[in-house]
Structure formats: C-alpha cells, structure tokens
Amino acid sequence: QVHVVESGGALVQAGGSLNLSCTASGLVFGDYDMGWFRQAPGKEREAVASISRNGYITSYADSVKGRFTISRDNSKNTVYLQMTSLKPDDTAMYYCAAGQRKLLGRLGLSSEFQYWGQGTQVTVSL
C-alpha cells in the first residue's frame, strides 16, 4: 500500500521561509515524478512545482518562480519544497503527489499523479 505524507506546514510571517517535506512509501520512489500542489479556500487546486524522477528537471508555477525550490533525495524517498519570501497569497493546503507518467519539464495536471498525501497547511500572515 502506498503512503504519501507531507510535513513542515506552519504559520509564518510574510517574507519568511518554510521547508516542506514529503515522504512516500510502498512504491519505487525513483520510478515516479513528484509534484507539489496547493489549494486555498474557495480556489481550485493548482500545481506549484514538479521534479523528474532523477531530480534533473524541475518546473515551477510563475507565481512561485525564484522563491520556491523543489528537490528530492531518492535514497530517503523524500521530496522537498523550500519556500522563501512567502506572501499571504501563498496561504493554502499544500499537497505532495507521485506520478508514473514522465512530465518532461511540465508542471503536470492533477490527473497525471496517482498518489496523493493528505496535505500540510501553510499560513502566511501579514
């Protein structure tokens, strides 16, 4: 059985930083591209960042480019999202997802990811 678990969400002031982690088990982690998504209240889920299975190719939403960094450690079955210069608009539930389809540099659609975590809450205050 596959489990995907996010951690690291918190309340942080605008301009601050936060590091999210996501650990997957029950699958061959290196066979999956990984993505981070977020969903704010009343809004649709949006892709934030994605990373190829070997970690060489990353993609970011325009809204987070230059502020967020996605990385992974296949030896730990873990993907990370480093977030800096946080803004109140970054407030959302952040989800990690695993997909077998190669994204080839795309962010990816929700439907392209098979396994999802329960999410971790990020709240950015003024």
Positions in the chain whose pLDDT score sits under 50: none
Taking all residues of the chain, what is their mean pLDDT, rounded to a whole number? 97
125, containing H or E segment: strand 120-125
pLDDT of residue 126: 93
3-state secondary structure of 101: coil
Measured CA to CA, the distance from residue 92 to residue 115 in angstroms comes to 19
Give tens-digit pLDDT for 9-24: 999 999 999 999 999 9
pLDDT of residue 100: 96
